[in-house]
Amino acid sequence: MSVNVVYVHLETVSNLILSYGISLQDFAGALQRVPHHLLLLTPVDLDDDVDPHTGFNVISGAPTIAAYFTDPHLTTHKWIDFAHELYLDQVTPNEVAQLLYLGHAYTHLESPFYYKLQNDYVYLDLPDGTVKTYYRHLPQFYAVLNRSLKRHLQEKYPDMRFLFRRRSLIQDIDPVILQQLQPLFIDGALFSFEDIDSRQKEIHIPILSLNSRFKLVNDDWHSADQERVAELIYDHGIKKWRLNVINEAAFANQGLL
């Protein structure tokens, strides 16, 4: 059973997000344009379509990709999108080697964004339950995070669902609010839905700053160095989100405040 938290760690040089609690459905559902072509970085299945030049499995077309994203039997997703099938023939042996390394070692040797592929993303499920996602355009991540946080809030308590009937759906979080959290993401931040506090018409989601790597141990998360530095607050009376900063130093150290 997974713990009810969302963890985000940002590596700004390559626009890499290491996360926990953000599902592939959160990712796909938040994108304005879902990729039309995927090159799979998982072990090759000869029963499926294989690109003869690169040797990787390929998936093309919205229905097939949607089925891949939602297949309950697939526990590991590793892929990179590409713009045009024609350009696969131009991928060099060195680039194939880089892609093999990316899928095997879960990290990049050179830039994860390839001119010939024109990819916008790389998506890698890691063995420890976390996910690495590369974004060519980092602002797209905040739409994914918004969708994930709203889903976690809706799923938190069965007895809270009356707050979120169709006529009063949870509103989107202003991207400016989420971008204000970027300094925390650089060291690692965790949204704890296990410690939500409901006060009258407000729901307070604690945000913890983690100064050590996020780890899952026996279905529980652990960090040796953590501090509650902010709260994400949803007022379901006026249907608005706001950020309450508890420790300004956690932000000021990164030049935000």
Instruction: Give CA–CA dist 18/11, Å, rounded.
Output: 8
Instruction: Give CA–CA dist 62/42, Å, rounded.
Output: 20
For the entire predicted model, the pTM comes to: 0.92
Instruction: Give CA–CA dist 90/112, Å, rounded.
Output: 17
How far is CA 152 from its chain centroid? 13
Nearest to 203 by CA among 160, 158, 233: 233
Q: What is the pLDDT of residue 200?
A: 83
Instruction: Give CA–CA dist 46/25, Å, rounded.
Output: 26
Instruction: Give CA–CA dist 251/227, Å, rounded.
Output: 13
DSSP 41: -
User: Mean pLDDT per segment of 10 residues, for the chain of length 257 residues?
Assistant: 84 96 95 93 95 96 94 94 94 97 96 96 95 97 97 76 60 96 93 89 92 68 76 92 91 55
**Vertex 67 angle, CA 62 and 72, to 5°:** 160
Burial 119-150 (b: 16+ CB within 10 A, else e): bbbbbbbeeeebbbbbbeeeebbbbbbbbbbb
- Supply the DSSP string of 136-203, one letter for each residue: SSTHHHHHHHHHHHHHHHHHH-GGGGGGG-GGGPPPPPPHHHHHTTHHHHHH-EEEEGGG-EEETTEE
Q: What is the pLDDT of residue 248?
A: 87
SS3 at position 250: helix
Q: What is the pLDDT of residue 144?
A: 98
Q: What is the pLDDT of residue 139?
A: 95
- On the 0-12 / 13-18 / 19+ scale of CB atoms within 10 A, 101 is middle
